[in-house]
Amino acid sequence: MNQALWRVTYEYLAARLPLPEWAFMNYGYTAVAPDTDSLELTASDEADRFCIQLYERVAGAVDLRGSDVLEVGSGRGGGASYMKRYLGPATVVGADLSRRAVRLCNRYRAIPGLRFVQGDALALPFPEGSFDAVVNVESSHCYPSMDAFLVEVHRVLRPGGHFLFADFRSGEKVRRLRDELARCPLDVVDEEVITANVVAALERDSDRKLRLIRQIVPRWLQSRFARFAAIEGSQTHEGFLAGRTQYQRFVLRKPA
Ligand SMILES: C[S@@+](CC[C@H](N)C(=O)[O-])C[C@H]1O[C@@H](n2cnc3c(N)ncnc32)[C@H](O)[C@@H]1O
């Protein structure tokens, strides 16, 4: 899909399904061995455990206490809200291309130190050196240029700041992503393939997601949604199992 189609899709979802309880749009993360997740969550966050654990894995890689954090591609705001409430940053700004999603987030999730702005990953609306960390979860596959995005991340980070990043790619784009990160002006300090953890989360969360889809999505759109959400048995889920699609996590650092 191109950028315009992604934009229409996410604007449509925010307009048609403005439900505060739908807070995440990622595939999730869990320990591969069942029943070994140990992240402590409040009862009201339990339903989103797998999606939150992906944020914990990505953003929890460095100590964010007292820092200024930007999330690019903040979606329905659940991840930015989790980071602000659990990881101790001074401020979190969520930026997303979808104007309607940003409006929903400011209505339902804004708390002191957490706000949302409309913005394009390729032209971030912030001055140079504004943030200690940039977080980006399952959004970059929508961007027309990863190189241009990485230039923007480098620009808005302070020296020594971190880029905390995770996303999936298929086929030859798996290797291309590693090349893009290797040639960008940030240093790769950690990387990890987390496909098995994402697949385990997809499988353990499939029933809940299917129930939610049946409750909130018009019948004619339900099968498309199941594919979009990578429900067990969907083409996307099969792609992960067959190794055609890989989910990776990276930590990069702007040289001091
Ligand atoms: C799959 S959702 C993930 C949302 C969120 N990170 C999460 O994990 O729940 C991808 C998000 O990226 C946003 N997005 C796509 N292209 C973008 C761009 N060029 N700039 C900023 N956000 C973008 C979409 O609007 C959407 O909210």
Task: Write out pLDDT tens, residues 24-39.
Answer: 999 999 999 888 888 9
CB of 28 within 8 A of CB of 21? no
Distance 81 CA to ligand 1 centre (A): 15
With a cut of 80, say whether residue 1 has pLDDT above it: no
Distance 75 CA to ligand 1 centre (A): 5
Instruction: State what percent of residues in the chain have pLDDT above 70.
Output: 100
Task: Write out pLDDT tens, residues 7-17.
Answer: 888 888 888 77
Q: Which residues face 133 on adjacent strands?
A: 69, 162
Pocket residue to mutate for ligand 1, from 142, 150, 153, most atoms within 8 A of Cβ: 142
* pTM for the whole structure: 0.95
The helix/strand/coil state of 58 is helix
Note the residue count of the chain: 256
Cα–Cα distance measured from residue 71 to residue 112, given in angstroms and rounded to the nearest whole number? 16
Domains along the sequence of the chain with CATH: 3-33+40-253 (3.40.50.150)
Task: Write out pLDDT tens, residues 88-114.
Answer: 999 999 999 999 999 999 999 999 999
The helix/strand/coil state of 240 is helix
Strand order in the sheet with 91-96: 114-118, 91-96, 68-72, 131-137, 157-170, 245-253, 187-193
Mean pLDDT calculated for residue range 54-78: 98
pLDDT of residue 50: 96
Write the residue with the smallest CA distance to atom 13 of ligand 1: 73
The helix/strand/coil state of 174 is helix
Distance 127 CA to ligand 1 centre (A): 21
